[in-house]
Amino acid sequence: MANPSKPILLGVNVDHCATVRQARYRSHALDHGHEVEPDPVAFALACEAAGADSITMHLREDRRHVQDSDVQRAREQIATRLNLEMACTPEMIAYALKLKPDSVCLVPESREEITTEGGLDVVGQKERVGEVVAAMTEAGIATSLFIDPDPAQIEAAAELKSPWIELHTGAYANAYHHEGRARELEILRTGAEMGHRLGLTVNAGHGINYTNVAEVVTLPHLHELNIGHSIICRALLVGIAAAVKEIKAFLL
């Protein structure tokens, strides 16, 4: 369990609530209201009421799930923190500077992937990423870099003065039922230690669920876990409030 003197925060990613809506209403004139459901903003508000500490939305270039109006409505309605996942593109930089979310998380983006796979290559795109971090910092928006737990990537994040990193836990989640699990967990542990040592706030996310979270919370210096798909799946069975409270209990 997490350290009771410093509970880990829970960020809920509502993207795949929007995925369910778009499966039926992709070409509909509206993206919320009337018969168009489910509404990811309503889902976000219910998660907040159940104890979520922040809400994440990823506005992708192809708008495959979350829509612009979803993010705008969330900005106006949620009471916690809005975390905008975004690619390092001129369009998204301009959008974030206009929207002014509480924080942004810079992620790689590919049209072919189902969801974000792999971390951002900060080392290979240092100038480009640095420009985004600087622009967000100047606007008073906290920046997180979604990166693999690789020493070079963590060091680059610190050099760019990104206040936060989000360690990509996908490799660990994929290895959970295989022999590579202990090795992947140790890589994450080393990455968290390094990030903390370099003065970074350490978050983690991707593939975390109600089984592997018990091990994830043993990682040192975690500030927040960002979880989406698993909470949405659990909510189908037990309801939103119970799904959030069950995962939140692991973090206290």
Catalytic residues: 58, 85, 206
Helix/strand/coil (H/E/C) assignment for every residue in the chain: CCCCCCCCEEEEECHHHHHHHHHHHCCCCCCCECCECCCHHHHHHHHHHHCCCEEEEECCCCCCCCCHHHHHHHHHHCCCCEEEEECCCHHHHHHHHHHCCCEEEECCCCCCCCCCCCCCCCCCCHHHHHHHHHHHHHCCCEEEEEECCCHHHHHHHHHCCCCEEEEECHHHHHHCCCCCHHHHHHHHHHHHHHHHHCCCEEEEECCCCCCCHHHHCCCCCEEEEEECHHHHHHHHHHCHHHHHHHHHHCCC
Q: How far apart are CA 97 and CA 100, in angstroms?
A: 5
Phi-psi region of 81 (alpha: psi -120 to 50; beta: other; left: phi over 0): beta
- What separation in angstroms does the CA of 129 have from each of 3, 152, 158, 194? 33, 15, 12, 20
CB of 17 within 8 A of CB of 43? yes
